[in-house]
Structure 1
Amino acid sequence: MAKSQQVFLCEACGYETYKWLGKCPRCAAWDTFREVKIEAAAKPQEEMATPVLLANEDVEDERDVLGMGEMDRVLGGGLTRGSSILLGGDPGIGKTTLCFEIAARMAELGFSVLYVSGEESLRQLSGRKRRLSIDFPFAFLATNRVEDILHAVHQKKYHLVIIDSIQAVYSTRLPFLPGSTSQIREVSSKVIRELKKLDLTHIFIGHVTKEGAIAGPKILEHMVDTVLYFEGDKTLPYRMIRVIKNRYGPVDEIGLFQMRREGLVSVEPSLFFLSERDKDSSGSSLYPAITGSRPLLLEVQALTPKTGFSMPKKLGVGYDMNRLFIMTAVIEKVIGLPFFDRDVYVNVTGGIKVSEPGIDLSVVAA
């Protein structure tokens, strides 16, 4: 007969102890321990994995080309079948719109798509689909329960599953609060494992923290195959998707889009970075940066006003601060321009962070 035991679990991080604690020693949260009864049931015998020999023709990755130029470029040639993708971005930046576009392209290619939403109702999803003028049908599931999601994917063979968002999904069988680190970790691991067994391509939409990192445990980024960040200024119509991790393609590619009423469309890189540039303004120069497989013309802006502080300030956005100190010292030594009474501000437009040494010349010129 199986025996049960009483343990205390931290609802914030999942730390386990056999006695109640006021403060969690792992995450330092107060009053988060709850008593849980665990049944020690006998585990069924699991099927053991066996090694296989891969032939040369077996290692080729199957890809589904979306027909979205910038998205296909970022993914390395399209969606790799059976891969897991994590898409992060600020609220309202357009993550759901982008995933709707991907789902519509896959449906247009004749593949079955399941869109799971834990944050919007079916009526809201239908309105969004109509607003984007998407005519190709794909299935919707409005739920937060991981059990409902896994039941749906086992009932019908889908080609692509999109979950919006992974932080909203929880399991009723886990003694953790929905949205907690432990809940996200366990649910994500279970979903990825099951969908990988079924060879289903899946995309997780993830929220980001105020520091710009994807909310939840860091291990979530290690479990997936590809991590993408969707970025941009909400006051402007342009958006950029950046690759942070990609097991099936390059990690230094970026994709550029324009947000229109009918959805997201790919744009010319020069339009993205130079559309607002004033050609006659001072303190500006151009730099051809290589990102992935193509060059991008970036504008480097510099400003050196009189300082109002006892110690002049130096600030760089998209440019390494240590190199900024070096460049100002070189200008003072070689050219003879003093900076002891001036602040120095350098900005690389478009949100691009450039680490190439060649940008030093553009900074000095600006």
Structure 2
Amino acid sequence: MKKIRIWDITKTDKGCQFSIGAADYLQLKEPLKKCGMKLVILRKTGLPFFMFRYRKHYSFVAGMLLAASLLQIMSMFVWEIEVDGNSYYTDNVIVSYLQGNDVYVGCRMSKVMCDSLEQKIRKDFDDITWVSAEKSGTKLIVHIKENDGDNVAGKAKSPSDIIASSDGVVESIVTRCGTPLVKKGDEVKTGDVLVSGEIVLYNDAKEPTDSCYVQADADILVRTSIQYENTVQRGYKCKIYTGKKVTHHVINVMGNVAELGLIPADYEKYDVVTEIGRLRLTKDFMLPVCAGRRIIYEYITEDGMHSEEEVTQILTDNYENYLNKLKKEGIQIVSDSVKIDITDVNAGMSGSIHVVMPFKERRSCDVRTVD
């Protein structure tokens, strides 16, 4: 049994038409002779036939070999660094750190040791609890997970107290570490110590014998007020686009930028929109070439004046965005009392927002000894 594979079989007026592999075609001679059939080749397709057809086009063959060599060489380098999972630390911070450790766009893939890179990042960034670096194609992907607690600026490694960041009334307090100095219902002033980082040790006679100092840790909710103020100018400059524009094509090859444009943009006032992307063969096989365009739009300005309805809507939208920002920070909105004042020149919204918010501000402990 020869197991000859054929596909795309169709019936024609002169017989049948089908596709067959080159190796299987050579095995058809004996069956065709036995059956008294004749086989006609209509078309040859595939890379071997393509290369054979152009075997005497030396420049074409040389170009193909050169392109294959260039792709092989480019696959040996990192052409894009992607950071995933970061929130507090920006992409620029992580990429700059990697550059300081000789990992940058254009470095050799073989120089990137993912295991040691992960250890360095965990060691140098206290708020990054998990790191995974992987090489995919010509891309280096750094997956990170940050600590869900306070941000870096709010953390203290040395012994510290938790203090009141504003006046208010304690709504609730749950202390995990340290000595609480307030309880629910107590009024506090700005700067008051709510949870002390000092823990006094007593003997059996209830006499203080020694002290130890820790980083105070507690969940404290305080009912307080936030003063809000926002001002909007009624007069503004209105952009009117003239419809004139100039397009320049941009090519960036390994950091070398070339801008191709025959017409200079001789506009007094204009906006620039840049559309540029990195060339790639596959999703992760990036090339060291970026291409795109810069579109320059001309505009003129005219003086405009917001109506009372418009400034009221702007102030209202700004206020709603501010409340949403507070909610994302874990602040509960209890009530508010704001008003809008509009004059011929500007409009403003001001007032108080009554909230229940967590207090996390820290201050170093005053270390002392117990006599």
TM-score, with normalisation over the residues of structure 2?
A: 0.23
| Higher fraction of strand | 2
| Higher fraction of helix | 1
Considering only CA atoms, is the larger Rg found in Structure 1 or Structure 2? 2
